[in-house]
Structure 1
Amino acid sequence: MTTAAETKRGSVHRPLNRGARVFVAGRHGLVGSAVSRHLVQDGFTDVVGPGSTQLDLRDRQAVLDWFASAQPDVVVLAAARVGGIKANATRPVDFLSDNLRIQVNVLDAALLHGVERLLFLGSSCIYPKFAPQPIREEALLTGPLEPTNEAYAIAKIAGVLQVQAVRRQYGLPWICAMPTNLYGPGDNFHPEHSHVLPSLIRRFHQARETGAPGVVNWGSGTARREFLHVDDLARACLCLLEHYDGDEPVNVGTGEDVTIREAAELVAKVVGYEGSVEWDPDQPDGTPRKLLDVSRLRALGWSPHIPLDEGLTGTYAWYREHLAAARAPEVNEGGSAVG
C-alpha cells in the first residue's frame, strides 16, 4: 500500500481555471470523449480537440502549427492507436510507430509552447507480465512485458519517461496516469481490433440476433482482468490534474478483478444470450492477471462510482443505438486501454 509520506509528497490542491483552454488529444475516442464530457459538465468552457481528419497527430509540423495557433493552457494526452490482443500481436510496427510519433509530437509541442499542466495517459499493460499483484506503480521496468502487446507497452513507457524527463529538466508539473482496462460508450467494437469487453458484447449480440447455439471465445477464460468504466476514468483525470504533482505515474482502476470467463457470462446475461459459452484454449490468454493497486489515487479522494454490471448495461444500450457506427476509430482518436 502507498504510505502516508508518499501520499503527502505528491498531493497538491491546485484547481484549474474553468476558463482555461483544455486540449484533449483524442477527443473523439473512447477516453477523450469521456474526459471532454466530464470537463464540460464540471464547468470548463473551452475544451478543444480536432479530429483526425482535421489534425493528424502523427504529422509533426501539423501538430506544431496547431499548438502555435490554438495555444492551449492544459493538455490531456488521450490519443493513441489501441487494439485488443490480436491487433497488438499482429501489427506491432503500427502500434509502436504511431504511438511514439503521437506522443513525441504532442509532448514536444506542449513543451515548446509552455503548456503548464499536462496529463499523459498510459496503460496498465506497461507493467511486467508477472508483476506482484496488486500492481504498484513502482513495478514499472522491473521485469519482462507480455509479448503480445510489448510494442504498445514500450511506446507508452517511452511517454512516461518523456514526461518524467520534462519534470526533471524543466520543472513543469506534468503527470502520468495508468488506467486499467477501460470500457464504455464510444468504445471500439471492430471484429478484430476491439478489446475484450466490446468484443464480447459484439459477438454475443450477433449470436443472439442469429440464433447461434454457442459462442467460442479466445483462451481458457481463466485470466483475470480489472475493468473500469471510462466515465470513472474521466473523473480521475480531473482529480489528478487538480490534486497530484509527482514523478511517479498513478494507477487508475477499481482495485477488483474478475476472470474473463466471469466477464463473458456477465456480458451474455446483459445481452440476453442464452446459448452456450465456449472457450478455445489454443488461443492466447495474455497476461495471467493485471490488478492495480489504486491506493495512491484513493488517497486523493477519488473512488469509482459505476459497478461492472451497471456499466455493461449502459454500454450495450449505447452499442445498440449506434450499431451502424460501432467501428474502429481513427488512429489518433483512440483511448488508452488494453484488453
Structure 2
Amino acid sequence: MYVNGSSALSLVLTLHSLDLPQTSIYPAFIFGTATYLIILLCNLTIVMTICLNRNLHKPMYILLVNLASNDIMGATTLFPQLLYSILSQDRSISYPVCFLQGFFVHMYGSTSYLILSAMAYDRYIAICSPLRYSAIMNNENLVRIITGMWLFNFIIIFVIFALLLPYKICQTHIADLICYNPPLMKLVCENTQVNNIYGLFTLVLYHFISLSAVTFTYIQILIACVTKRQSDAKMKAVQTCGTHLVVFLFFEFNTFFPLIAHRSEYIPVYLRRVFSVSVFIFPPILNSLVYGFKTKEIRQKMFTCLKRKISSI
C-alpha cells in the first residue's frame, strides 16, 4: 500500500500492454511517428498562417488558433510517451508523470468542448446579427471569452486531480493505454464517492454546455439562412453547419464513450481503450482539415506564402 504523498513520487505504475508482436513494433512506431508529425504540421501551419497575417486577426481565426494549439497539446500528451513504449516495449510510467499526463488529457478534451462552443457562438453572431458582430465580438470581449474559457477549464480539471491526492494507492496496474482520471481512481483502495460525484457533475456540465451551445446556434443559423432568399446563403449555411456538426458529434462521442465505459461492466474493455486513444488522433486531424484548410481565407494565405517561397527560390 502506498500513501499518495511523498512516497507516491517514487511509485512506478504499469500501463496496459500494447500486445504488439515483434514484427509489428517498427511499423507501429513509424505509423505513430508519421501520424504525430502530420498533426503537428497541419495545426502548426494553421497557427503560423493566422499569426503571420494581420488580415486573419479576427475572432473566428483567433479561436481557431486556440483550437489548433489545444490539438497540438493533446497529441503531445499522448504520442511521445506512446512512441517510446512501442519502441522500448516498456509500459512502466512514474506516478507523477502519469498524474501529469492525466491532467493534460482532461485539459485537452474539456478545452476542445469550450472552444468549439465559442466558435459556434461566433458564427451565430456573424450570420444572424452581422450588423452587431463588431460590437459583440470586439477585442475586449474576445479576450474575456478566451481567458475565461482557459481559466474556468483549468480550475475544474485542477479540482478533479486535487481530489485524488489524499487517497492511498493499493494497485500499480493502469487498466488502460493512457493515464486519465477514471483508471487512476481504480488504483485507489478507499471510497471515492466524492470523486465520482464531482466527475459525473463535470462530465454532464461540459456536455450540456457544448451540446446546448452548438445545437442552439446551428439551428438559429439554419433558420436565418433558410428565411433568406439567396440560394448561395442557404448552401453555405448547410455546408458549414453540416460539416462542423459532424466533426463536433464525432468528437463528442469519442470523448464521452471511454468516460462512460469505465462506469459500465457491459461495454467491452478493448472498445474503451481504442476510443481513449483515437480521441487524440482523429479530432486534431479533422479539426485542421475542416476548420482550417477548408476555410477559404486561410487556404489563400497559405497558397500566397507558398508562391512567395517558390518564386524566391
TM-score by length of 1: 0.23
Structure 2 length as normaliser, TM-score? 0.24
The structure where strand makes up a greater share of residues is: 1
Q: 1 or 2, which has the higher helix percentage?
A: 2
User: Larger Rg: 1 or 2?
Assistant: 2
